[in-house]
Structure 1
Amino acid sequence: MNALSSTSPPRHVALLGYGGLLPFMGLALLIALSLDYRSLWAVALVSYGAVILSFVGALHWGFAMTLQDMRDEQRRERLVWSVIPALVAWVATLLPMPLGCLLLIAGFVVHFWQDRRLLQVVTLPAWYLPMRLRLTTVASVCLLLGAIIVAVHS
């Protein structure tokens, strides 16, 4: 089977990708259940979200450097885009937690849109976009739940 046409990611990719959701889910749960340490878990959730948003932005830097079927203009666009998620993530860490979470959610959603744009000009594995959608959805739901809980209890 061709790796590009497979709709299932390789096992190690799935384990790493979906395993990266565990801190999102665990921290959202801790925010809901741990009254004494809620502020610590809230900071941890925004910090982890910022790290992951920066990571997914860097994917586009890697694509721009390695994919051959891109025009120079498209390559420049990917390089410019690749640093924007890190800047958004950094600003999110400076905001009050609920606003930081909402900014991260916006960053993840816009990045998914950028992933869709990228797929209009290059070929990536068939599993890439569906997996990114699932990862974006779960991370965003966890960030939203964390933001709502902190906003309600402050």
Structure 2
Amino acid sequence: MNASDNARPAVVAWLGYGGLLPFVGTALLLWLAPGQHSRWLEMLLTYGAVILSFVGALHWGFAMVHPATVARPMNGMYAWSVMPSLLGWVALLVQPAAGATLLIAGFLVQYRQDLRLARVLALPAWYLPLRLQLTVVACLCLASVYVLGPGLPQGA
């Protein structure tokens, strides 16, 4: 890790935090516009599945280009990198509460994988703190399904 890795690029912050807007926006719409409840749920879960696929694919990218991976087999990283997209797909096929549970679990396991990756590869210093912040907000927004999902007790 070099000194330039300590400063998070501004574009990374803009894109990372900007990527939370669909999570926060649809979670708020669940509360504020209940007439379209099913639509907001579908949008929230679909976006969650897409983003879970994205963060999993980061491991494929690291396995391909990180200098520390040249001398070691990266089959495990390649295999892991597709698991979040498969989990996200399944999350879209089940009831909203079950789908939200799968997505939350997927984001948490993916963050754990990121921690494991950081023990093997030198990642930028800003990467894990940013991933943690984004993961927490995404999971909290997905958890709104438990409170506001159709067929779930209101206020539970």
What does residue 16 of structure 1 align with? 15
What does residue 3 of structure 2 align with? 2
Q: How far is the alpha carbon of 1:72 from its aligned partner? A: 2.7
Q: How far is the alpha carbon of 1:149 from its aligned partner? A: 1.1
Q: Percent identity?
A: 50
What does residue 80 of structure 1 align with? 79
Contact 1:105-1:143 within 8 A present in 2 as well: yes
> Which of 138-147 and 104-113 deviates more?
138-147
Q: How far is the alpha carbon of 1:3 from its aligned partner? A: 1.9
* TM-score where L is the length of structure 1: 0.93
* TM-score where L is the length of structure 2: 0.92
Any residues of structure 2 matched to 1:47-126 within 5 Å, and which? 47-70=46-69, 71-73=71-73, 75-126=74-125
Deviations 1:74-104 (A, max 9, x none): x111100000000000000001111101100
Segments of 4+ in structure 1 off by > 4 A? none
Aligned counterparts of 2:146 and 2:99: Cα–Cα separation in 1: 8
Q: How many residues align?
A: 150
Q: How far is the alpha carbon of 1:148 from its aligned partner? A: 2.1
Q: How far is the alpha carbon of 1:152 from its aligned partner? A: 2.5
Letter matched to residue 42 of structure 1: L
What does residue 143 of structure 2 align with? 144
Q: How far is the alpha carbon of 1:35 from its aligned partner? A: 1.7
Letter matched to residue 42 of structure 2: V
Aligned counterparts of 1:91 and 1:147: Cα–Cα separation in 2: 18
Aligned counterparts of 1:95 and 1:148: Cα–Cα separation in 2: 17
Contact 1:58-1:82 within 8 A present in 2 as well: yes
Q: How far is the alpha carbon of 1:146 from its aligned partner? A: 2.6
Letter matched to residue 4 of structure 2: A
Letter matched to residue 72 of structure 2: D
Aligned counterparts of 2:118 and 2:34: Cα–Cα separation in 1: 44
Which ranges of structure 2 fall in alignment gaps of 5 or more residues?
Answer: none
RMSD between superposed Cα atoms in Å? 1.2
Aligned counterparts of 1:124 and 1:23: Cα–Cα separation in 2: 27
Which ranges of structure 1 fall in alignment gaps of 5 or more residues?
Answer: none
What does residue 30 of structure 1 align with? 29
Q: How far is the alpha carbon of 1:28 from its aligned partner? A: 0.3
